[in-house]
Amino acid sequence: MKEIATITAEVRFVARRKLNDDGKSAWYVLASNQGNLSGVLSWQPVPGEKLILSGTWSEYRGEKQFKFTNARPDIPQEAKTLLHYVCSRTPGIGPKLEEKIWETVGEKWTELKPGDVPRMNNDIVAEFHKQYAEIKLHDEQYQAIAWLIGKGCSQKMAEAAWEKWETETLGVVQENPYRMTELYGYGFAAVDRHREAFNVAVDDRRRLLAGVEYAVRQAQDDGSTLIDVPPVICKAVQLLGVGNSDLVCDIITRLIGDNRLIFFAVENKNVLALTSDYNAEKVIWDFASDGLAETAVAS
């Protein structure tokens, strides 16, 4: 088994790029100061970008190649070093102009404006700030994904969260980890297995609300929109492990009040429907009804 290594590399150029089926990430071959690098990235690196990579060394056509399975930007934290990194990525800024920026505005270089530094026209200043914004975004992305992985989420789940909420990811998940049930392919169980890492108690209202909604969706497996109330209560009690049907009933009442569930009495039975599903079916029914009415009038 090949030994896992971690390296730091500076990208020289993108040699090859193949978009993945998700339409967001891509497989790259990158030329770097460490030789060729290959692996999947969720962003397109630019020449001069520095990366910290984990993976294994191999040989391809007689040349060493590093196949990475994890990548993150290597972003300096010290102001002058970060300025150098931004300048190295910005066309039109060489060592002398970089030095002049530091001499003129020092640690406030992130607030640089056209006219502050001679020979830096509007286009160069705009590109300078664009490069800094991209670096900052990639750093936020890594921090958010790393935080979620640290809580036990898979890398794919963490990346899906970033794709949905981007810079708001940490705030959204910290406020309510069960918002991640909104991610395609991840239901209540996928989130709930990490509840302790997110400091969510068994009877936490956020968990209860998400669990009852999930129980309703599971009860719809036969294709019905309207679901009998008693089976939903039993399923939710079992799923949540609360052992208290009154608590689940309180949550159902809360969801009805929040317009996330709709309650009906049909043929002497109490039934529920997810508001989103009911409204979608109502649109279809109304459209069909209007069509039938127009046909009858025409006849």
| Helix, strand or coil, per DSSP, at residue 272 | strand
DSSP percent split of the chain into helix, strand, coil, nearest 5: 50, 20, 25
Q: Which structure tokens are listed for 40?
A: 């999947």
pLDDT tens, position by position, 102-161:
999 999 999 999 999 988 999 999 999 999 998 888 888 888 888 898 888 988 899 899
Range from 30-39, 41-50, 206-215 carrying the lowest mean pLDDT: 41-50
Task: Please tell me the pTM assigned to this model.
Answer: 0.64
* The two three-digit tokens of residue 68, written as one number: 């990475």
Grade residue 241 by pLDDT with cuts at 50, 70 and 90.
confident
**Which of 98, 89, 92, 81 minimizes the C-alpha distance to 46?**
89
φ, ψ (nearest 5 deg) of residue 54: -120, 135
Residue 193's pLDDT is 94
The H or E element containing residue 136 is helix 122-150
Which of 70-84, 121-135, 260-274 shows the lowest mean pLDDT across its residues?
A: 260-274
Instruction: Name the class of domain 5-73.
Output: mainly beta
State the first-to-last Cα distance of the chain, in angstroms, to the nearest integer. 77
Question: How far apart are the C-alpha atoms of 88 and 78, rounded to whole Å?
Answer: 15
In this structure, what DSSP letter does residue 180 have? Answer: G
Question: Please, what CATH class does the domain formed by 205-277 belong to?
Answer: mainly alpha
If one compares 274 and 221, the residue with the highest pLDDT of the two is 274
Q: Tokens 């040989």, residue?
A: 59
Buried b (16+ CB within 10 A) or exposed e, 156-183: ebbbbbbbebeeebbebbeebbbbbbeb
Q: Which of 124, 127, 115, 174 is nearest to 147 (CA)?
A: 174
Q: Which tokens sit at 277? A: 């599903």
Q: What is the DSSP string of 86-117?
A: HHHHSTT--HHHHHHHHHHHGGGGGG--TTSS
Q: Which residue has the higher pLDDT, 281 or 132?
A: 132
**Domain spans of the chain?**
5-73, 79-143, 151-192, 205-277
SS3 11: strand
